[in-house]
Structure 1
Amino acid sequence: MILLYPFQRSADWGNKVEKLTVRSAYRTALNLMDHCGRRYSVLLDPEDYLPRSSLIEAFPPLEVGQEIRVGIDGASVGFDPSQIDGLPNKKLRGLWLEWLEFMDAEELSCLHEAIDEPERLIGLGPGYTPAGDDFLVGWIMALHFTGRKKSLLTIEREMLDRKTSWFSSEMIKDALEGRFWKRGIELVSAIADGDATRVLEKTDSITKWGHLSGKAWLAGLAYGLELGE
C-alpha cells in the first residue's frame, strides 16, 4: 500500500496515519475518502488549501478506488480553516454588491428562483460543484463572518448526500461546521481590514475558480452580507 508523507497540513487534520480511498485525482489535487465518507485532500499548491487538506511535493501514480495511507505526523500546520477574524468593513459594501450581479448571468439565473428556499439550492445548477452549492457555502461563510452563526441555515445532512455530489456535500458540511477554504478566508480578512486592493486581487482569483463556482460563491457571500445589513 502506498504511503504519502505531506510536509504541511491544515489545523483540522489530526496527527494519525489515515487509511484513505482515492475518490478523484487531478493534476494538483488528490481527493480522498475515509471510512466515514469524509473528504481529505492532498494538494500541490498552498493556495488550494481547504479543510482537512495537506501539501506534498509530488503525487505518485494513483488510480480511483485505490487505498493508500497518509502519514501526517511531523507535518507542520500551515492553514486554519476555521479562523475568521474581524467583521465586514462597510466602506467596501459597493464592492461586494457587484458580486450579486453574477446571478444575472443566464447560467446562474436559477439561483434567483431558489433563493427563498435554501434547500432547493442544494445540487442546483451547472458545475463540478453545482452553482447552488457554491452559493450556499458563500452564504454560510457570511453568517460566520458577521457573527450570526445562530442564524445558520437548517440543512439536513442526509439531504446533502441525496441531492448533490460527494465532494459538494462535504464542502457544505464543512461550511456548516465553520470550516472554509483558504481563498475565502483571505477574502473576508481583506474585507475586515478595509483593504480594497487586496479584496479586488482575491476576488479576481476566486472568479477564476472553476467555470462558474467562484462567481456563485461570491454571490452567496454578498447575499449573506446583505442580509446582515
Structure 2
Amino acid sequence: MTPVRALGRSLDWENGPVRLTVREIFHNVVNLENQEGLRYSFISDPSSYQPRSALVVSLPPTCQGESLVIDLSETPPEFSPFLPSCKPLKKWIPVVEDWIQYLIDNDLNLALSYIENESLASLIGLGPGKTPSGDDLLAGYITGLHWLDAGEACRVCGDVLPHISLTDWFSQNMIADACQAKVSKVVLDLCHALSLSHSSELYTSVRKIASTGHTSGESWLAGFGFALFSHFFREGRYDEVYEGNSR
C-alpha cells in the first residue's frame, strides 16, 4: 500500500484499495489512471477538486508510469462532484450570451453549426491542445444540458460516448464525467453563482474558468452557455419558477 496523507476526497473516489498508474505530473496536480482507464487525481488545493480527486498534504514523489495502490477508505469525503439542484436567474441572460459570442469571435462557427445540427460527435478531438476546443465545448454543452434537462443530456451522451476514443485520455474522462453530471468545484461554484443575484460571485467563477488553459476554459463556457441559452432561456422556462430564485 502506498502511504498518502489525504485531508479529504471526492464522494466518488473508490472505497477500498485501488491500483493506479501515474499518467501526468504537474506542480499542483498528479493525474493517475485505474485499470479501467478512469482518471484519478491528487490535488494540493481544495479549489481544484474534481471527480475522483483527493486533497493531499503534499503531492507524493512519483514518476510517470509508476504503479501505486491507494486506500482512502478512512479519508472523509469532502466534495460531491454532482451538479446542484439550483437553477440560473433570468438576469444573467446577457452574460450567458457573451460566452456564446466567443465562438463567433474566434472563428468557431463550424463548432457551433455541429451543435445546432446535432452532429455532436464531430466535435470530439476538434482543434489543437491537450484538451481540444471541440472536447471542451462538448463537455460544457453536456454539462449545461444535464443541469437543465437530464433527458436531453442522456440522449446526447448516447450519441457521443461511442466515439470518445477518437480523442485523448484526459478528454475522454472529461466528456464521460460530463455525461454522468459530474463536474469540478469551479463549475459547481459557477452554477451556484448563476442562481444568485450577486454579480461578484458570478464574475469570480467565470474568470477562474476562462483562465483555464489556452482556450479550454472559454470553449467550455461557450458550450455551457449555448446549452443554457438554447434549452432554458430561449424557451422562457425561467419565468415558470426561477424569476425570483435569488438569495
If the TM-score is normalised by the length of the shorter chain, which range does it land in?
over 0.9
Is structure 2 residue 20 aligned with structure 1 residue 20? yes
Closer/same/farther in 2, CA of residues 192 and 124 from structure 1, 3 Å limit: same
Report the CA distance between 1:159 and its aligned residue: 1.4
User: Could you tell me which amino acid in structure 2 is paired with residue 26 of structure 1?
Assistant: F
Corresponding residue SS for 1:23: strand
Residue 124 of structure 1 is matched in structure 2 by: 126
Residue 204 of structure 1 is matched in structure 2 by: 207
Report the CA distance between 1:178 and its aligned residue: 1.3
The number of aligned residues is: 227
Corresponding residue SS for 1:193: coil
Report the CA distance between 1:140 and its aligned residue: 1.1
Alignment of 1:185-204 (within 5 A): 185-204=188-207
Mapped to 1, the partners of 2:76 and 2:186 lie a distance apart of: 20
Residue 167 of structure 2 is matched in structure 1 by: 164
Which of 144, 147, 167 does residue 146 from structure 2 map onto? 144
User: Could you tell me which amino acid in structure 1 is paired with residue 78 of structure 2?
Assistant: G
Deviations 1:65-96 (A, max 9, x none): 11012221221222101141211211111111
Kept in 2: contact 1:9–1:76 (CA 8 A): yes
Mapped to 1, the partners of 2:109 and 2:172 lie a distance apart of: 22
Mapped to 2, the partners of 1:110 and 1:227 lie a distance apart of: 17
5+ residue gaps, structure 2, are 235-247
Corresponding residue SS for 1:227: helix
Closer/same/farther in 2, CA of residues 2 and 133 from structure 1, 3 Å limit: same
Residue 240 of structure 2 is matched in structure 1 by: none
Structure with greater Cα Rg: 2
Residue 3 of structure 1 is matched in structure 2 by: 3
Alignment of 1:52-131 (within 5 A): 52-106=52-106, 108-115=108-115, 116=117, 117-131=119-133
User: Could you tell me which amino acid in structure 1 is paired with residue 226 of structure 2?
Assistant: Y
User: Could you tell me which amino acid in structure 1 is paired with residue 127 of structure 2?
Assistant: G
Deviations 1:25-60 (A, max 9, x none): 111111111111111111111111110111111123
5+ residue gaps, structure 1, are none
Mapped to 1, the partners of 2:150 and 2:69 lie a distance apart of: 35
The range that moved more, 166-175 or 185-194, is 185-194
Is structure 2 residue 216 aligned with structure 1 residue 213? yes
User: Could you tell me which amino acid in structure 2 is paired with residue 114 of structure 1?
Assistant: Y
Mapped to 1, the partners of 2:26 and 2:107 lie a distance apart of: 25
Report the CA distance between 1:173 and its aligned residue: 0.5
User: Could you tell me which amino acid in structure 1 is paired with residue 135 of structure 2?
Assistant: D
Task: Report the TM-score when normalising by structure 2.
Answer: 0.86
Deviations 1:134-176 (A, max 9, x none): 1111111111221x11001133434102x10101001110110
The RMSD of aligned alpha carbons is 1.6
Report the CA distance between 1:106 and its aligned residue: 3.3
